[in-house]
Structure 1
Amino acid sequence: MKIHRHLFAALGLFSALVASMPHAEVYRWVDENGKTHYSDKKPKTEAEDITQAIKKQNIDTSIEEQRKLQDIFRPENEADREYHRQQQLKNQPTPEDIQHCNNLRHYLNKIDGRVQFIDEDGKAVPVTEKQRQQRVEEVQGYLAEHCN
């Protein structure tokens, strides 16, 4: 029974302390010169209690905003790093690609200017200058697009 009395006494003391604590009230009033004043103490003149109106403005949302930013700008993890490595590997030419580009550059040098085309049987193939120039442009376009 003694424990209950001490518990009730402690609760009563705590309630009295909370009740005696000042509430954060804000008042607004206009003086005789038309100047608006704000105070946390109620003035002797008539004043409007604007506590409820400004409570919404005093909420700290910075932690919530930081969480949103962390979701967007989260630190890079190992899966992200592996993905970027794979992307870089895809963009790097293989040895076969490099050899193909070198062969095309060599071919382009051969067909530059006056040239005679030979087929697989070793016979001369008649090619007009317009056709030769078209082949040059095709090879140059391919090299520009696929071979840096």
Structure 2
Amino acid sequence: MKGLLLLLWLLVTLVAQAGTYRWVDENGQTHFSDRPPVNTVADEVSLKAAAPSADKAASERKRRVNEFLEQSERERAERNRAEAEQQAEAAQYEARCQALRARLKFLKSVSGIYRLNNEGERVFVDDQENERLRREFRAKVQNECDS
């Protein structure tokens, strides 16, 4: 809207600066033109351009458009923040699952599982406990990562 008002003001200014001529024809009618008439005496008149005025309706429309744009920008920023948060959570989830799968692969490759006793010595579990621990860990990986 401001651009349109500025353009109109510039056009009016250019027209006013181009020169305006006034003359009266043989019938007594007054005429105005930006070029002097041929074979008639004309007076050059100076015109003052009216200052552009912003009506209330235009001001209200501008205010509403600005509010809409600000609200849209806030919503876009919130969507971007939520999306970034979702992507970070997905990356953490994927990293955790990769670590769990790597541990599962390691458990499959070792022949026996051990625990450390109070003195820090390795104590291997029996075959039945070994299989139970592998089964529980496999179920944990499936439950947390493959659902």
Instruction: Using structure 2 for the length normalisation, give the TM-score.
Output: 0.38
Instruction: Using structure 1 for the length normalisation, give the TM-score.
Output: 0.38
Say which structure, 1 or 2, has more relative contact order (CA 8 Å, 6+ apart): 2
